[in-house]
Amino acid sequence: MIKLTLAQINPTIGDITGNIRLMRDAALHAREQGAKLIIFPELSLTAYYPADLLDDEEFGRRIETGIGQLRAESAALPELTWVIGAPTTNKGVGKRFHNSLLVLKAGEVMLTYHKQLLPTYNVFDERRHFEPGPDVARVLDIDDVRVGFMICEDGWNDEGTDYLVNPFIRLADAAPDFVVSINASPSNIGRRELRHDVFRKASARHGLPIVYVNQVGGHDQLVYDGASFVVDPARGVVFEAKRFVSDNATLVFDGRQTFFGLDGRSLEPIGDAGLPSCEFYRKQIVLGLRDYARRCGFSAAVVGSSGGIDSALTLALAVEALGSENVVAITMPSEYSSSGSVTDSERLCANLKIDLYTHPIRELVEVYKLQFEKATGHEMAGLPLENLQARIRGTILMEYSNRFGHLLLTTGNKSELSVGYCTLYGDTNGGLGVLGDLYKTEVFALSRHINASAGREIIPPAIIEKPPSAELAPGQKDTDSLPPYDVLDEVLKILIEGERLARAERERAERQMALLLDSEEGQALVTRVKRMIARNEYKRRQSPPILRVRSRAFGSGRQMPIAARYT
């Protein structure tokens, strides 16, 4: 029998000193619980993923020093065995580092295991910096319990479809009592359920209990949900740590494939159902925004409030992440703004209890028009005039950000970013895109969900119900330039995410696509959308990072050339 602690921490990339502090605090808590084994996530020393920091010689020296400090910390708690993740130097040919798991006990390194399967797809690029480890199993006896070890991707190939090597087979041959898997698995809709499915099947197939420990927290575009878990070969997932927060959970392994709670209670199987999609989006975005702001040194945010649905939802999420006292809105009416754009902003900000500043742009637009015409002899009109208004607003927001030190949040959604329905250096200005991985239809759904879960009006119904409009020209509506969003979004899902969609969502989108392709008009619409996606890659490349919530997000998860022919 052994007591073990799943230390689901929220480390900061590169903050080795701070991360060691988190690990020490978790270890002290584990000792108080009587644990003999504490397990930290993948690359817990540096956090995942340090990327080209690993090319910096000084950073490499800091890693070595950090490993030494962790050995000293383990020496101060000699009764506790630590499982940590860290880059270690590759002594042979190839990349400079291994992605490694180290087992520390009383100041000594008892075992080292190097990750074998290095992902280079979607948001991952580990082969850029790491050399794969050898195809060997690593096991260690800890308090009369034989423990096997693996790292994240090593556990995802048990059906042999992605790599020639399957580390689970080697581990099964070594006959451990249970397997420890340390992970940094980014979160997206449906990912938690997929983890459970993959590791439940592997556990049953090999008769191996699995302890899966994951990182939590927001790191640039990626958000990690934690949700560490334990799998029983016969009963499936029997324990799950908290989602979207740090959590230290201590369990008891009885030595016979069974885990118990610290109080001796039996652990019951956990159902597959996760959070409803809107609640998942909400928690993922709030954690991602909060950590991004904190780690970049921002305590407050500013948002341009147009009276539309995107800025309203962005403000609501910002308030939840940062607090109403740390969020400011600015409304910037022009001659084309409806009266509701200001009054709806006022009502929204009153509901959220945040300050709203009014900064009209009509006079600024007139001055720009006049000076342009004087300089070039040509009138400023049409699309250039529309974009000018967006760029003036973007400048005002950046002025406020510079003056008061607020993080400027962009409000564009995935539908708009996909087809370029945004103005470069205008409404794309900012430090972080909060809604950039939500389709427009999901923006509406999440707004309604926020109101429903609050049991009161947060986002005014007038904002949710009004037809979307950029209000850059008389009577302008989004549908003047784009297909209806309920049609556009289904097309975009197929073209951008395709097979990565969950089955039900993919089938729904495929039905919509089939209906369109059944007519010449629909075929023309699909072709037009394809061209818009391709033509606007340059805008997305210059836009702020966005918080990833879906299986394939713009940014590191979708890398497309700008200067290319797509049709």
Give the active site residues.
Answer: 42, 115, 152
Going across the sheet that includes 210-214, the strands are: 139-142, 145-151, 178-183, 210-214, 229-232, 236-240
Q: Is 546 helix (H, G, I), strand (E, B) or coil?
A: strand
One DSSP character per residue, 231-290 reads: EETTTEEEEEPPBSS-EEEEEEE-SSS-EEETTSPBPPP--S----HHHHHHHHHHHHHH
**CB distance 49 to 184 below 8 Å:** yes
Find out whether 232 and 268 touch, Cβ atoms under 8 Å. no
Nearest Cα neighbor of 208 from 162, 158, 249 is 158
Q: 248-259 burial string, b = 16+ CB within 10 Å, else e?
A: bbbbbbeeebbb
Contacts (Cβ under 8 Å, ≥6 apart) of 337: 307, 471
Q: d(Cα 222, Cα 13) in Å, to the nearest integer?
A: 12
Q: Give the Cα separation of 455 and 283 in Å (integer).
A: 18
Q: H-helix or E-strand containing 108?
A: strand 108-114
**Residue 357 belongs to what H/E stretch?**
strand 355-358
Burial class (CB in 10 A: 0-12, 13-18, 19+), 100: buried
Q: How far is the CA of 134 from the CAs of 43, 90, 154, 461, in angstroms?
A: 18, 12, 12, 59
The tokens of 474 are what? Answer: 């008389």
Is residue 517 within 8 A of residue 507, CB to CB? The reply is: no
User: How far is it between the farthest Cα atoms of the chain?
Assistant: 86
Match 């584990």 to its residue by tokens. 30
How many other CB atoms are found less than 10 A from the CB of residue 397?
24
Q: Which of 150, 143, 181 is nearest to 1 (CA)?
A: 143
